[in-house]
Protein backbone atom coordinates (compact mmCIF):
# COMPACT_ATOMS: atom_id res chain seq x y z
CA UNK A 1 0.00 0.00 0.00
CA UNK A 2 1.46 3.36 -1.02
CA UNK A 3 1.99 6.19 1.43
CA UNK A 4 -0.71 8.14 -0.35
CA UNK A 5 -3.19 5.30 0.20
CA UNK A 6 -2.12 4.91 3.83
CA UNK A 7 -2.66 8.60 4.45
CA UNK A 8 -5.67 7.98 2.28
CA UNK A 9 -7.80 9.11 4.94
CA UNK A 10 -6.74 9.83 8.43
CA UNK A 11 -10.48 9.98 9.14
CA UNK A 12 -11.12 6.56 7.61
CA UNK A 13 -8.16 5.06 9.48
CA UNK A 14 -9.37 6.52 12.77
CA UNK A 15 -12.89 5.28 12.10
CA UNK A 16 -11.54 1.81 11.24
CA UNK A 17 -9.73 1.65 14.57
CA UNK A 18 -12.86 2.80 16.38
CA UNK A 19 -15.00 0.17 14.67
CA UNK A 20 -12.47 -2.54 15.52
CA UNK A 21 -12.53 -1.55 19.20
CA UNK A 22 -16.32 -1.44 19.22
CA UNK A 23 -16.42 -4.90 17.64
CA UNK A 24 -14.00 -6.15 20.29
CA UNK A 25 -16.20 -4.72 23.02
CA UNK A 26 -19.25 -6.36 21.47
CA UNK A 27 -17.44 -9.72 21.43
CA UNK A 28 -16.42 -9.40 25.09
CA UNK A 29 -19.96 -8.35 26.01
CA UNK A 30 -21.36 -11.39 24.19
CA UNK A 31 -18.88 -13.61 26.04
CA UNK A 32 -20.01 -12.12 29.36
CA UNK A 33 -23.64 -12.83 28.53
CA UNK A 34 -22.74 -16.43 27.75
CA UNK A 35 -20.91 -16.78 31.07
CA UNK A 36 -23.82 -15.20 32.93
CA UNK A 37 -26.14 -17.83 31.48
CA UNK A 38 -23.65 -20.53 32.43
CA UNK A 39 -23.33 -19.04 35.91
CA UNK A 40 -27.08 -19.22 36.39
CA UNK A 41 -26.92 -22.88 35.44
CA UNK A 42 -24.24 -23.82 38.00
CA UNK A 43 -24.80 -21.32 40.82
CA UNK A 44 -27.35 -23.37 42.77
CA UNK A 45 -25.32 -26.56 42.55
CA UNK A 46 -22.10 -24.75 43.45
CA UNK A 47 -23.66 -23.22 46.56
CA UNK A 48 -25.24 -26.48 47.68
CA UNK A 49 -22.12 -28.65 47.81
CA UNK A 50 -21.44 -29.71 44.21
CA UNK A 51 -17.64 -29.50 43.99
CA UNK A 52 -17.50 -29.61 40.21
CA UNK A 53 -20.09 -26.85 39.96
CA UNK A 54 -18.21 -24.89 42.62
CA UNK A 55 -14.97 -25.10 40.62
CA UNK A 56 -16.82 -24.01 37.52
CA UNK A 57 -18.34 -21.08 39.42
CA UNK A 58 -14.90 -19.92 40.58
CA UNK A 59 -13.65 -20.07 37.01
CA UNK A 60 -16.60 -18.01 35.83
CA UNK A 61 -16.08 -15.46 38.62
CA UNK A 62 -12.39 -15.06 37.81
CA UNK A 63 -13.18 -14.69 34.14
CA UNK A 64 -15.90 -12.14 34.93
CA UNK A 65 -13.45 -10.02 36.94
CA UNK A 66 -10.88 -10.10 34.13
CA UNK A 67 -13.58 -9.36 31.60
CA UNK A 68 -14.90 -6.38 33.55
CA UNK A 69 -11.39 -4.92 33.63
CA UNK A 70 -10.99 -5.63 29.93
CA UNK A 71 -14.30 -3.91 29.15
CA UNK A 72 -13.21 -0.85 31.15
CA UNK A 73 -9.93 -0.70 29.24
CA UNK A 74 -11.73 -1.15 25.91
CA UNK A 75 -14.20 1.60 26.80
CA UNK A 76 -11.26 3.88 27.65
CA UNK A 77 -9.65 3.04 24.31
CA UNK A 78 -12.94 3.70 22.52
CA UNK A 79 -13.13 7.13 24.15
CA UNK A 80 -9.68 7.97 22.78
CA UNK A 81 -10.56 6.47 19.40
CA UNK A 82 -13.64 8.70 19.15
CA UNK A 83 -11.51 11.70 20.04
CA UNK A 84 -9.07 10.65 17.30
CA UNK A 85 -11.92 10.46 14.79
CA UNK A 86 -13.08 13.96 15.70
CA UNK A 87 -9.51 15.28 15.56
CA UNK A 88 -8.98 13.68 12.14
CA UNK A 89 -12.24 15.19 10.91
CA UNK A 90 -11.16 18.59 12.23
CA UNK A 91 -7.79 18.27 10.49
CA UNK A 92 -9.51 17.25 7.26
CA UNK A 93 -11.91 20.18 7.50
CA UNK A 94 -9.00 22.55 8.18
CA UNK A 95 -7.14 21.15 5.17
CA UNK A 96 -10.24 21.65 3.02
CA UNK A 97 -10.53 25.22 4.27
CA UNK A 98 -6.88 25.88 3.43
CA UNK A 99 -7.38 24.40 -0.04
CA UNK A 100 -10.49 26.49 -0.64
CA UNK A 101 -8.71 29.58 0.70
CA UNK A 102 -5.84 29.08 -1.75
CA UNK A 103 -8.30 28.52 -4.61
CA UNK A 104 -10.13 31.71 -3.64
CA UNK A 105 -6.84 33.59 -3.61
CA UNK A 106 -6.12 32.41 -7.14
CA UNK A 107 -9.63 33.37 -8.23
CA UNK A 108 -9.06 36.85 -6.80
CA UNK A 109 -5.95 37.10 -9.01
CA UNK A 110 -7.98 35.98 -12.01
CA UNK A 111 -10.62 38.57 -11.18
CA UNK A 112 -8.05 41.36 -11.08
CA UNK A 113 -6.45 40.19 -14.33
CA UNK A 114 -9.80 39.81 -16.10
CA UNK A 115 -10.89 43.27 -14.97
CA UNK A 116 -7.70 44.70 -16.47
CA UNK A 117 -8.48 42.88 -19.72
CA UNK A 118 -11.99 44.32 -19.74
CA UNK A 119 -10.74 47.85 -19.17
CA UNK A 120 -7.97 47.40 -21.75
CA UNK A 121 -10.51 46.03 -24.23
CA UNK A 122 -12.81 48.99 -23.65
CA UNK A 123 -9.88 51.35 -24.09
CA UNK A 124 -8.97 49.65 -27.37
CA UNK A 125 -12.63 49.80 -28.46
CA UNK A 126 -12.74 53.50 -27.70
CA UNK A 127 -9.48 54.14 -29.55
CA UNK A 128 -10.57 52.09 -32.57
CA UNK A 129 -13.99 53.75 -32.66
CA UNK A 130 -12.40 57.21 -32.67
CA UNK A 131 -10.03 56.20 -35.45
CA UNK A 132 -12.95 54.84 -37.49
CA UNK A 133 -14.98 57.99 -36.87
CA UNK A 134 -12.06 60.18 -38.00
CA UNK A 135 -11.49 58.01 -41.07
CA UNK A 136 -15.15 58.33 -42.06
CA UNK A 137 -15.02 62.10 -41.55
CA UNK A 138 -11.94 62.35 -43.76
CA UNK A 139 -13.57 60.05 -46.36
CA UNK A 140 -16.63 62.31 -46.43
CA UNK A 141 -14.37 65.34 -46.72
CA UNK A 142 -12.84 63.79 -49.84
CA UNK A 143 -16.21 63.53 -51.55
CA UNK A 144 -17.46 60.08 -50.53
CA UNK A 145 -20.67 60.29 -48.52
CA UNK A 146 -20.84 56.58 -47.80
CA UNK A 147 -20.16 55.40 -45.12
CA UNK A 148 -21.50 58.18 -42.98
CA UNK A 149 -21.27 59.08 -39.31
CA UNK A 150 -24.90 58.01 -38.98
CA UNK A 151 -24.12 54.56 -40.35
CA UNK A 152 -21.20 54.24 -37.95
CA UNK A 153 -23.49 55.20 -35.10
CA UNK A 154 -26.09 52.59 -36.08
CA UNK A 155 -23.85 49.68 -37.06
CA UNK A 156 -21.31 50.39 -34.33
CA UNK A 157 -24.07 50.24 -31.74
CA UNK A 158 -25.20 46.88 -33.10
CA UNK A 159 -21.63 45.57 -33.06
CA UNK A 160 -21.20 46.59 -29.41
CA UNK A 161 -24.52 45.05 -28.44
CA UNK A 162 -23.70 41.87 -30.39
CA UNK A 163 -20.43 41.55 -28.49
CA UNK A 164 -22.31 42.00 -25.22
CA UNK A 165 -24.40 38.93 -26.08
CA UNK A 166 -21.31 36.85 -25.26
CA UNK A 167 -20.89 38.50 -21.88
CA UNK A 168 -22.59 38.03 -18.49
CA UNK A 169 -24.96 40.88 -19.37
CA UNK A 170 -26.38 39.05 -22.40
CA UNK A 171 -29.91 38.82 -21.01
CA UNK A 172 -30.38 42.56 -21.42
CA UNK A 173 -29.64 42.30 -25.16
CA UNK A 174 -31.45 39.11 -26.20
CA UNK A 175 -33.95 41.26 -28.12
CA UNK A 176 -31.40 41.81 -30.88
CA UNK A 177 -32.40 39.61 -33.81
CA UNK A 178 -29.63 37.40 -35.26
CA UNK A 179 -29.91 39.11 -38.66
CA UNK A 180 -29.41 42.50 -36.99
CA UNK A 181 -26.23 41.47 -35.20
CA UNK A 182 -22.96 42.94 -36.40
CA UNK A 183 -19.22 42.96 -35.90
CA UNK A 184 -16.95 45.91 -36.54
CA UNK A 185 -14.83 43.84 -38.93
CA UNK A 186 -17.97 42.78 -40.77
CA UNK A 187 -19.33 46.18 -41.68
CA UNK A 188 -15.98 48.02 -41.79
CA UNK A 189 -14.65 45.49 -44.30
CA UNK A 190 -17.67 46.13 -46.53
CA UNK A 191 -17.11 49.86 -46.24
CA UNK A 192 -13.43 49.47 -47.07
CA UNK A 193 -14.28 47.45 -50.18
CA UNK A 194 -16.77 50.12 -51.24
CA UNK A 195 -14.17 52.86 -50.77
CA UNK A 196 -11.58 50.85 -52.69
CA UNK A 197 -14.03 50.35 -55.56
CA UNK A 198 -14.69 54.11 -55.57
CA UNK A 199 -10.94 54.74 -55.61
CA UNK A 200 -10.47 52.34 -58.52
CA UNK A 201 -13.24 54.13 -60.42
CA UNK A 202 -11.67 57.53 -59.76
CA UNK A 203 -8.25 56.33 -60.84
CA UNK A 204 -9.63 54.93 -64.05
CA UNK A 205 -11.36 58.21 -64.75
CA UNK A 206 -8.13 60.05 -64.05
CA UNK A 207 -6.15 58.02 -66.53
CA UNK A 208 -4.56 55.32 -64.42
CA UNK A 209 -3.38 54.53 -60.93
CA UNK A 210 -1.11 57.11 -59.37
CA UNK A 211 1.77 56.20 -57.16
CA UNK A 212 0.85 56.19 -53.50
- Residue 60 phi, psi (nearest 5): -65, -40
Task: Determine the distance from the C-alpha atom of residue 128 to the mean position of all C-alpha atoms in its chain, rounded to a whole number.
Answer: 38
Selection from 178, 182, 138 nearest residue 157 by Cα = 182
User: Which residue ranges make up each domain of the chain?
Assistant: 3-110, 144-205
Q: What sign does the dihedral 181-184-190-194 (CA atoms) show?
A: positive
Integer CA distances (angstroms), 114 to 90, 109, 122, 133, 173, in order: 35, 9, 12, 28, 22
| pLDDT score recorded for residue 136 | 95
Cα dihedral angle (184, 189, 194, 197), rounded to 10 degrees?
160
pLDDT for 1: 42
Q: Write down the pTM of the prediction.
A: 0.56
Burial class (CB in 10 A: 0-12, 13-18, 19+), 156: buried
**Cα 73 from Cα 70, distance rounded (Å):** 5
* Predicted local confidence at residue 128, as pLDDT: 95
- Residue 197 has a CB neighbour count (10 Å cut-off) of 10
**Four-residue CA torsion sign, 180, 184, 185, 191:** positive
One pLDDT digit (tens) per residue for the chain, 212 residues:
444 444 558 899 999 999 999 999 999 888 888 888 888 888 888 788 888 888 888 888 888 888 888 899 999 999 999 999 999 999 988 888 889 898 899 999 899 999 899 899 999 999 999 999 999 999 999 999 999 999 999 999 989 988 888 888 777 777 778 887 788 888 889 889 989 988 888 788 766 555 44
Q: Do 131 and 156 touch, CB atoms closer than 8 A?
A: no
Amino acid sequence: MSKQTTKLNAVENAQKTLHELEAKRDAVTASRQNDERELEAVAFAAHTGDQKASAKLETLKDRALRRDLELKSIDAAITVARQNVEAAKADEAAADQRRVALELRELAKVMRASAKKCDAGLAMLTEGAKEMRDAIAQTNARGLGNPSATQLQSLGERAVLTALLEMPWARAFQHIEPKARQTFVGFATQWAFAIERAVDAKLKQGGGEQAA
